Structure 1
Amino acid sequence: MTSSALARRIGQSILVLFITFTVAFFLLSALPSDGVMARYGAPALGLSQAEIAGIREEMGIDKPILVQFITTLGGFLTGNFGTSVQTGTAVSTMVAENLPHTLALATTSVGLAVIIALIVAYLATVPGLGFIGTFFRSLPSLLVSLPGFWLAILLLQFFSFRLGWVSAINPGAIEGLILPTLTLVVPMAAPLIQVLIRSIDEVNQLSFVQVVRAKGASEAWIFWRNVLRNAILPALTMLGLLFGELVGGAVVTETVFGRAGLGNMTVQAVSNRDTPVLLAVVVIAATAYIIINLIVDLLYPVLDVRLRRKVK
């Protein structure tokens, strides 16, 4: 990718991020209720309308919508995500506390999904395995049909409550990643396997593969050294798209397992109509999605020499 193409791609990413922020801000602002009423409007608190109006004024919610938009945008550009209506804590502090947990879950899930996808795709496409290859070819269709919340509950019931292998209450750092990671791996690995198998089948029909096989190379050598490198690009594209689904998967997974993270924080923010927190989560998720797909674009020329261009 040339420097001008890279600059253009980064500019497009910034534009997409701005549009995402704008749409999310105005949609959240258009909700019929807000966090102030959800937090302070209960009759049991005994606050008058004047006191609630004072809270709105202190938080800047009483200002015209365009003023709020410009103020919020300026805050995001400087790292100030505002204040949580529900807890009164700076949203940036909440993000800093919860983001590492979600990043750890996302990293382990993506890594394990890639490993499983490569192994299953190899066993499904290597010649001579008979019914074993047929089984692994049909496996993605089964995995992709499993609902995430059902799988999470099933894993929790079986491995924690019945077998007692993994603690469900106050697990350790590593132990607490096992079941949530397995929950996210299944829906991520399934489409990766499907794309890999289809791409590998196409590459296996090319003449250069037949030439390498005719020279006596083993099937493992052909797969890992010749076929996979030419079949990996569609799967890499799919991996970038699947990363965008991690936030949605984390919401279900972290809620079921009671795990701290952006997903659990999102659930609490939705329940409390905490719009500053929701807006921060949307922007963070969009930023991560854009960065991952930019990295994928940059990897294309590395993996496929046909896409390389000389930088002038």
Structure 2
Amino acid sequence: MAEQDKPEVVDVHPDKRQHQDHKNKEDADLRGSKGRLKAIASEYYVDARLQEVEQEDLAHRSATRQRHVMQKQQANLEAIIALTYDQCHSETAQTPDPDWLVRFFDLARNIHGHAMQQLWAKILKQEMLRPGSTSIKALTILETMTQREAQALQRACALSSTFGQDSTKKLVTGFRRRQGLVQLLRPEPPHKLSLGHYQLSYTDLMLLMDLGLILRTELESGVIEMQPAMPFKLQDTQYMLTPLHKGMRLYYYRFSPTGHELAKLVGKRVHPDYHHAICELLAEGFEMHSDVGDTVNTHA
């Protein structure tokens, strides 16, 4: 018996397949550098020389692009105002300084990302509640910052602390004893930890230094006196530090005045692992009491 011919498979949706093939080709083109560049150039109205058809004259194209830029800037400002309004409640507020407002809007119009727009909205609300809270210099630096740089600052703030009577934020990295005669013969290594283990890489640290938000040199505090105990505020917890030995000093990186100013805007996160690690480290050289009465260590 002869083998029967197999029935012919008929594609009942040729248009659908053609559409899918076309879409796959478009996706592949977009993944390539040329396709990606075309998409970017089209979005920003600078793709005339990449088109095969004749475009309008240069003056018309320039006017179109400028109109597009102004529309985007207007949309950015309106988004920031809407976000500020959502953050406001029934607080007593004032009108910020007119010169400050002009500079604020001039800089804020170029803020496109939603997360950064939320930050600028927070700044505007704070300025209405407490005029003079954020300087024009801080706004100028913030306007140049990318999302990645802002996230690096936020990670640094999560590790920040203050000590003594100085309220400027710092990144404490460890401590050492002052080198006496015995220590010179048998030096004691400093007790330190790496910030890179707590999501603040060396690259991030250098990035913040390049922006002028953290001073470039790791500093060493003066000798910490045995009495009275020194205040040490780590994130939301207040400690009192009493050295176990004479001549104790802390190592730290210091936020610049502008960095400290911006840190107050983005520094609400905490890093529990760092908190635990720095307390364990400091407990090797200090007696620490928290503001709730707990004792971190009880060395003799």
TM-score (norm 2): 0.26
Would you tell me which structure has more helix in proportion to its own residues?
Answer: 1
Bigger radius of gyration: 2
TM-score (norm 1): 0.26
Would you tell me which structure has more strand in proportion to its own residues?
Answer: 2
